[in-house]
């Protein structure tokens, strides 16, 4: 390994590697274009550790979705993560609010997770999707 390769290798270890958005999914769900995908890195493993797993399928920070190394890139997963992108946009302190929801209610009952699952399900059913993230509790 050369000296110049080390920073890139370290960067990929921490941040994962850039992954292109699947064109078929982008054609079907053009709203996914606002997201950037990365594969691997520390965040999916950290999320998995918090849930007692080796990794999570995806974790969103701003407009970037970090995919687990072995996660299948599906419409359901990307739409779920798109909901989190929108939650980041709607709530200035979203990471703290997400953490607080998880601490109070657990991961599955966290209202941001519930909203993301419902958003993905409605969008996959081709029903109009409300924006629950515009309401501040």
What are the pLDDT digits (tens) for 30-72? 999 999 999 999 888 888 888 888 888 899 999 999 999 999 9
Neighbours of 101 (CB within 10 A): 18
Predicted TM-score (pTM) of the model is 0.83
Domain of 75 in residue numbering reads as 5-134
Total domain count, the chain: 1
In this prediction, what percent of the chain has a pLDDT beyond 90? 65
The whole-number pLDDT of residue 42 equals 87
Q: Which residues contact 57 (CB under 8 A, 6 or more apart)?
A: 44, 67, 68, 71, 72, 77
């Amino acid at each position: 390994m050369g000296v110049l390769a080390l920073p890139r290798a370290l960067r990929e270890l921490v941040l994962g590697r850039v992954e292109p958005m699947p064109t078929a999914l982008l054609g079907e769900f053009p709203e996914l274009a606002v997201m950037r995908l990365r594969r691997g890195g520390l965040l999916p493993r950290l999320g998995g550790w918090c849930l007692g797993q080796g990794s999570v399928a995806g974790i969103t920070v701003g407009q970037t979705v970090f995919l687990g190394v072995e996660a299948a890139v599906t419409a359901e997963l990307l739409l779920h993560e798109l909901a989190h992108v929108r939650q980041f946009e709607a709530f200035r302190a979203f990471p703290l609010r997400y953490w607080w929801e998880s601490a109070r209610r657990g991961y599955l009952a966290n209202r941001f997770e519930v909203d993301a699952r419902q958003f993905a399900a409605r969008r996959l059913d081709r029903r109009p999707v409300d924006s629950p993230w515009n309401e501040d509790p």
